[in-house]
Structure 1
Amino acid sequence: MTTVDTTWARPRLRANVVLGPGQWRGGRLVHHVKDRETGWFYRIGPREHFLLSRMDGTRTLDDLAAEYAEAYRRRLGPENWQQLFGMLHQRQLLDGATDPAALARLTESAAQGAARHRRRPLSARFPLFDPDPLFDRLLPRLRPLFGWGFVAPALAAVLALVGYVALHLPELVDGVGRGHRPLAAIVAAVVITWVIVFLHECAHGLTCRHFGGRVGEIGVMWRFPLLAPYCKVDDIVLFTPRRRVATAFAGVFVSLLALVPFAAVRIWAGPGVLYDLAGTMLLFGTATAALNLVPFLRLDGYYMLSHALNLADLRADTYAFWGRLLRGGPAAVAGYRRRDRLVHAVYGIASVVFAATVLTLLVRFWYASLARWIGPGPAVAVLVAEAVLLLALAAVVARRSRRHATQAEA
């Protein structure tokens, strides 16, 4: 194709193509584009987003060129249009210029890509069902729960719950430490915990659906050494930062809200099985929620912080920032915004301090336990062997991650 096709004189994106707001990644502003028909996500720059967002079928190429020149003080030449329309044709994004066979190939490749990244040695996903039909039936009934008339008092109840647990923490720890619970109480605690975790994931999905996104799947996720439900909310990249934060927080919010009845049982019920069960749920439930909010683990708190800062991937960008800084000095990171330089510097240092503190505590605890069982010398030998094994495993995982990243870019 040497010239722009005349059928694209008033270009319009297909109705299933959705453009997301800008996010910062590696010092650059990027926008996500989703083709809902094929399932593909694409990343484009702000200038491409400027043009695509105006391809609504009402503007001619001259109109687009004039608006672009006014915004960027630069005229688009034939080669620029050729490159842009070549990309749109390759990805089948323009209305009235699609090839069914090409769309089918794109859909198949998107599904294959998702399946390829679903199974890894230390992490895997096992989809169970498509939740969108269920969420579509539930949302009309649950819509009032997304308004401040419910959210504000619910937040107050959650804060009161956290305060109650903090004030009664020694009592709750002592109650759990006594042990020797009936088997029925243990089974009930496990079942209730799984129900709450499932509600946690559904809260992410329902919030995503409420904001207009689609939820790809609900399933069970293996992340060594844990097994837990998950909800795929990839469309979150198409939301504003505020809505992304709300979607990420919804899970912890619902998890804590589900513990409020157990606080009522502790307050009004007398000693007994229900009293002990409520104490167990309050202690472990709030501890799990607190862990979820730690911003150095890739859990809800981490994603909330990333979204609040409008960064696509805080941890990956921080690694890249420090890599450039250590290799090339301050000049190598001069392209980052001043705010992002500060964020990445502080987050990187805080991450190292957090990891070192956790690792030190774990090593001390494990050494003390081993030393009691097998003696100090063998305990040190076991710790060294474990360290070598973990480093080798980390190297293997890092190599595979780089290979997957290379394949994804290709």
Structure 2
Amino acid sequence: MFLENDHSTTNYHSWICPDLRIYWRLGRIPNSGEVVLRAIASLEQFTFSETEGYALQHFSGQYTLNQIQVAVQRKFPDTNSNFTLELLEKLIKLGVLTLDDQKPPSSKYQLKSTVEWIANPDGYWILRNQEDFTFMQVSDREKNVISRLQQGSIQAIAEEFCIDRDQLKLLLQMLAATGMLVGTQPAKPPRNKFNPLQLLFFKVKLFNPDNFLSQNIDKLRWLWSKSFTLIFVTFLAISTVFAIHYRPEITFEIVKLIQTYGTSSFFFAFVLLMALVITLHEFGHAFTLKHFGGIVPEMGLLFMMLVPAAYTNTTDSYSLSRHKRILVIGAGIIVQIALAAIAFWCWFYSSKGSWLHIGSLVLMTAALFTVALNLNPLAKFDGYYLAVAVTGINNLRRRAFGFYSNLLQGKPLKETNQNKLILAIYAPFSLAYIWMVFGFLFWRISDWTLVNIPYTALVILAIWLIYYFFPRR
């Protein structure tokens, strides 16, 4: 499973808002919906609206901008989508939140020694923090600004590059949030209360394969040579022609196999071989990224819509050109197709009824099934990330939904004409797919629950509702 991270420098919604309670106290103004924020150590105070006051209650060092935005919009539905970001900028202007740029340059604004600049051929720069394995995508201008941090005050840098002072502070906060600066650590997401919907998507990290990959990559570099690529493509082409010709016989044998050994036995063997295919698939991603000089910090298990899968953290592929990034994403599928082709020839030349003949048939089925599953661009499997890499539209699904949201609200559309067309087409199909999958799962789970454990389920639901909605202390 190819994983995607958000690399946009304008995406501040994952930031964890600071704890204001250390220096400020929030109170209500009698007979008014407004609130007042008073400094604990001075007489300074500021007045905010009821909506702003509700948002400020969440500035406890536990919630991200996005989480606060969701909470505010739940209570005040008419709130605009940039409310929390505007509130953050207001707090900076008022001096409630500030980066002290009057101090002389210090290690506070110094990049860590483990941070390196990587020039991307697509015209931007990647800041890679090898200590915490975080990334930040910046433009040429932002790179120049960051490079000047140790040489002048914020005010001087803002004037030199004609950049808004508050935007410069936001850039510094982003550097701190990703742990790029000396003395900072990446912000950890807060631990939220358990929600059953979390079972529809969660990851289990297993190990860090980077050292293993580094030790063995030189033995496998021939796999990416031009001569082997030519041989491999020829092999796949011949295999495809023969497989299509023998498709009726393959289908007949699969049906006969299920009838002979039973659905349960076939399914058990299918799942075991599918696990093998998925494992090799993930190593296809990992070794390809390592071949191009990337870092692979983790591999593990992934459950999406209750479907078990695996994932490889290939975030470092964003440092590569689009062509190489496509190869990293597509490597897993190429491995699956290769396994299917090898299995076909083993089936073709082996004796009918032998363990090799039967095993090859099941392996071929498992490999082709996972190829079809992975190529679906509507789920966040490899097909989705291939679409992202090919189109160059990072966060394709979110931007597609945001495109329609802005369109319906009459907000300006900040996308190119080509991207507008892609987003306009992708969003409705993606939404329909999500509703179809969620609807099916909800119907099946609800039906089984109401038939088998209605009272137990009701008690569990009541306990969870009390737990979830009971206010935190």
TM-score normalised by the chain length of structure 1 = 0.67
Out of 109, 115, 118, which is 1:16 matched to?
Answer: 115
* Alpha-carbon distance change, 168 to 93 in structure 1, aligned in 2, over 3 angstroms: same
**Matching residue's letter, 1:34:** R
Out of 358, 380, 386, which is 1:276 matched to?
Answer: 358
Deviations 1:362-393 (Å, cap 9, x if unpaired)?
Answer: 98xxx9xx9xxxxxxxxxx969x99xxxxxxx
Structure (1/2) with the larger helix percentage: 1
Residue 294 (structure 1) aligned with residue 371 (structure 2) = no
5 Å-filtered alignment, 1:199-278, equals: 199-273=280-354, 274-278=356-360
Are 2:114 and 2:131, in contact at CA under 8 Å, matched by a contact in 1?
A: no
Match of 2:419 in 1: 340
Are 2:269 and 2:362, in contact at CA under 8 Å, matched by a contact in 1?
A: no
**Matching residue's letter, 2:230:** A
Residue 38 (structure 1) aligned with residue 132 (structure 2) = yes
Distance 1:350 1:78 in 2: 39
Out of 380, 399, 405, which is 1:323 matched to?
Answer: 405
Distance 2:111 2:360 in 1: 57
Compute the displacement of 1:56 (Å).
12
**Matching residue's letter, 1:317:** R
Out of 107, 113, 121, which is 2:199 matched to?
Answer: 121
Are 2:121 and 2:320, in contact at CA under 8 Å, matched by a contact in 1?
A: no
* Alpha-carbon distance change, 89 to 165 in structure 1, aligned in 2, over 3 angstroms: closer
Match of 2:88 in 1: none
Are 1:39 and 1:110, in contact at CA under 8 Å, matched by a contact in 2?
A: no
Compute the displacement of 1:163 (Å).
3.6
* Alpha-carbon distance change, 285 to 163 in structure 1, aligned in 2, over 3 angstroms: farther
Are 2:336 and 2:370, in contact at CA under 8 Å, matched by a contact in 1?
A: no
SS of corresponding position for 2:206: strand
Q: Which has the higher Rg, Structure 1 or Structure 2?
A: 2
301-310 vs 121-130, greater mean Cα deviation? 121-130
SS of corresponding position for 2:131: coil
154-163 vs 76-85, greater mean Cα deviation? 76-85
Compute the displacement of 1:210 (Å).
1.9
Distance 1:225 1:11 in 2: 44
Compute the displacement of 1:81 (Å).
10
Compute the displacement of 1:31 (Å).
6.1
Deviations 1:41-78 (Å, cap 9, x if unpaired)?
Answer: 335456313544x6699xx87xxx99x99xxxx85379
Compute the displacement of 1:160 (Å).
3.4
239-248 vs 229-238, greater mean Cα deviation? 229-238
Are 1:162 and 1:286, in contact at CA under 8 Å, matched by a contact in 2?
A: no
Distance 1:146 1:85 in 2: 39
Compute the displacement of 1:282 (Å).
1.9
Compute the displacement of 1:198 (Å).
0.5
Compute the displacement of 1:337 (Å).
0.8
SS of corresponding position for 1:214: coil
Compute the displacement of 1:157 (Å).
2.4
Distance 2:295 2:138 in 1: 21
Deviations 1:16-45 (Å, cap 9, x if unpaired)?
Answer: 23446498xxxxx98653322123333545
Compute the displacement of 1:351 (Å).
4.0
Are 2:339 and 2:367, in contact at CA under 8 Å, matched by a contact in 1?
A: no
198-207 vs 14-23, greater mean Cα deviation? 14-23
Distance 1:255 1:341 in 2: 33
Gapped regions of structure 1 (runs ≥ 5): 24-28, 371-380, 387-410
289-298 vs 188-197, greater mean Cα deviation? 188-197
Distance 2:224 2:404 in 1: 40
Out of 215, 239, 254, which is 1:137 matched to?
Answer: 215
**Matching residue's letter, 1:16:** V
Deviations 1:123-154 (Å, cap 9, x if unpaired)?
Answer: 22222211011101111111121222222322
* Alpha-carbon distance change, 33 to 174 in structure 1, aligned in 2, over 3 angstroms: same
Distance 1:210 1:137 in 2: 11
Match of 1:394 in 2: none
Distance 1:324 1:263 in 2: 50
Match of 2:84 in 1: none
Distance 1:200 1:55 in 2: 43
* Alpha-carbon distance change, 167 to 346 in structure 1, aligned in 2, over 3 angstroms: farther
SS of corresponding position for 2:293: coil
Deviations 1:154-189 (Å, cap 9, x if unpaired)?
Answer: 233234334433333332222111222399887655
Out of 225, 243, 261, which is 1:181 matched to?
Answer: 261
81-90 vs 278-287, greater mean Cα deviation? 81-90
SS of corresponding position for 2:379: coil
SS of corresponding position for 1:120: helix
Residue 47 (structure 1) aligned with residue 141 (structure 2) = yes
Aligned length: 338
Deviations 1:332-384 (Å, cap 9, x if unpaired)?
Answer: 32x2111111111122344467679x77xx98xxx9xx9xxxxxxxxxx969x
SS of corresponding position for 2:403: helix
SS of corresponding position for 2:300: strand
